[in-house]
Amino acid sequence: MLGPQQSSFVMYDEEFQRISAVIEKLLRESNAKVIFLVDKNGQLIAGCGETDNLDTTSLASLTAGNIAATGGLAKLIGEKEFSILFHEGEKDNIHISIVAQRVILVVIFDHRSSLGLVRLRVKKASDELAAIFEDLSEKAAEMEKTGNVDSPFAEITDDDIDNLFS
C-alpha cells in the first residue's frame, strides 16, 4: 500500500480491531447506514452497518475505480487529488473520502443524517484512521527490516496450489 515496491499490504488483528472500533463509532455518531473502508486497489478492508443485502466486493471495486478515475481527472487539471466525492440519490447518498492519501472511506446514509453531519464526523474519524494506518505501515516496515515477515505462504507447496484448482 506504500508503493509498488512493497509486495503485499498486511492487516493484523490488532489494527483491524482498532479500525473496526473507529468506523463503528463513526456509524453511530453520523447516523449512517453503512460504512466501508477500501484500499485504493479495490480490496475491502473493513465494513459495518447494514451490510447484509449489499454486494460489498463489487462496491469496494467500483469505489476504487471511481476514486482512480476522479484522481486521473484531478491530475489533468493540476490538482493532486479530489479528497471528497459525494453522490446524491433519491433515498440514499454516498460520501467518499480519501484517508491519509491511502485508503478510501465510504459512508452511505439516508434522510436520518445529513451531508453536514457526515462531513463533520468523517473529518474526525479520518484523523484517527490515519494514525492507525501510520502504525500499520511502521509495523510492516519493522517486520521487513528485521526479516520477521511471518507470511502464511512461506511454507506452501506446489501440491497446496494444485489442490486449489482440483
Partner 1 sequence: MSFINYASREINCKIVYYGPGLCGKTTNLQFVYQKTAPDAKGKMISLATETERTLFFDFLPLALGEIRGFKTRFHLYTVPGQVFYDASRKLILKGVDGVVFVADSQEERFDANIESLENLKVNLEEQGYELEKLPFVIQYNKQDLPNCTPIEELRELLNPEGVPEFTACAQTGDGVFETLKAVAKLILLELKKGGAGA
Query: Residues interacting with partner 1, by CB under 8 A?
Result: 1, 3-13, 16-17, 39-43, 45, 55, 57-58, 61-62, 65, 68-69, 71-72, 147, 149, 151-156, 160-161, 163-165
DSSP states along 94-145: EEEEEETTTEEEEEEE-TTS-HHHHHHHHHHHHHHHHHHHHHHHHHHHHHHH
Residue 16 or 82: the one with the smaller Cβ distance to partner 1 is 16
Counting Cα atoms < 13 Å in the Cβ hemisphere of 152 gives 4
CB of 166 to partner 1, least distance (A): 9
User: Please, are residues 20 and 40 in contact by the beta-carbon 8 Å criterion?
Assistant: no
Given the complex with partner 1, which of 1 and 98 has the nearer CB atom?
1
Least Å distance, CB 113 to partner 1, is 28
Comparing CB distances to partner 1, the nearer of 24 and 71 is 71
Shortest distance (Å) from residue 91 CB to partner 1: 22
- Cβ(51)–Cβ(23) under 8 Å? no
Q: Please, what is the angle between helix 115-146 and helix 13-29, to 10°?
A: 170
Residue nearer to partner 1 on the CB measure, 111 or 162? 162
Q: How far apart (Å, rounded) are the C-alpha atoms in residues 119 and 22?
A: 15
Residue 3 or 89 having the CB closest to partner 1: 3
Supply angle C-alpha 57, 143, 150, rounded to 5. Answer: 65
Report in angstroms how near the CB of residue 143 gets to partner 1 at its nearest: 10
Question: Shortest approach of partner 1 to residue 148 CB, angstroms?
Answer: 9
